[in-house]
Amino acid sequence: MIAELVRSSITLLFPDPCQACGKRPAARPLPICGDCMALLARGATPAAVSSRYIENIFSCLPYEGAIKKCVTSFKYSGKLKFMSVFERLIGRAVMKNTFRLCGADIIVPVPMHPVKKYRRGFNQAEIIARVLSVLLSVRTDVRVLIKKRNTPAQSRSSRKKRFRNLKNSFAVVDRLKIVGRSVVLVDDVMTTGATLDECARELRKAGAKSVRAFTLARTL
């Protein structure tokens, strides 16, 4: 009890800095300040794009600035408190694109290899998918698609190399949940689109009627 009071007093006297700009105190319960949150909330939503196997790919924001810092801290430092920021941005994006996301039958997060998921402790795509699931009233299923090969990190790979590394690394393990269904595929960030497209290829091959995708951010 006393320790909790001491921690609360310290927090009031020395609030955590904003995790995006580092200049102003964070706006509790958010990990970023009010100015950075307002900047993200006003940010332009990227136009939807498509790929070989995906009809439309919707993203909340361009992958830059404050959102890039938030996503990096979320993924690599395990700071799940950033979900309070992401939930607001996902809600805004869904409001703008609801009519284009309507009619989905199932939400499928991009899977991680079990070894990588064990090391990180969570799959960020699954967490984002569950937020989207509530907003769209569409169920999320994490057991439809698996990653069967533990591929190397893709961040420094060229577009061509990413597609080559990811080829045949995903698999649908329950076709009955996919056949004839409209799927929304979810990931945190889209860069080259290689991961999303390879997942969508497997979903299409398994009989999905259509595949759309949703990400927090996208490289422009």
**Domains contained in the chain, CATH given:** 44-218 (3.40.50.2020)
Measure Cα distances from 53 to 86, 130, 177, 194 in Å: 26, 23, 18, 11
Q: Which two tokens stand for residue 119?
A: 């090391």
Q: 220: how many CB neighbours lie within 10 A of its CB?
A: 11
Q: What is the DSSP letter of 28?
A: T
pTM: 0.89
d(CA 147, CA 170): 4
HEC per residue, 159-209: HHHHHHHHCCCEEECCHHHCCCCEEEEEEEEECCCHHHHHHHHHHHHCCCC
Please list the pLDDT of the chain residue by residue as tens digits (220 residues).
Answer: 444 433 444 344 457 899 999 999 999 889 999 999 999 999 999 999 999 999 999 999 999 999 999 999 998 887 888 999 999 999 999 988 877 888 899 999 999 999 999 999 999 999 999 999 999 999 999 999 999 988 876 656 666 777 788 888 999 999 999 999 999 999 999 999 999 999 999 999 999 999 999 999 999 8
Q: Shortest CA distance to 107 belongs to which of 129, 127, 131?
A: 129
pLDDT at 53: 96
User: Per the structure block, which two tokens stand in for 36?
Assistant: 């950075």
Q: What pLDDT was estimated at residue 26?
A: 93
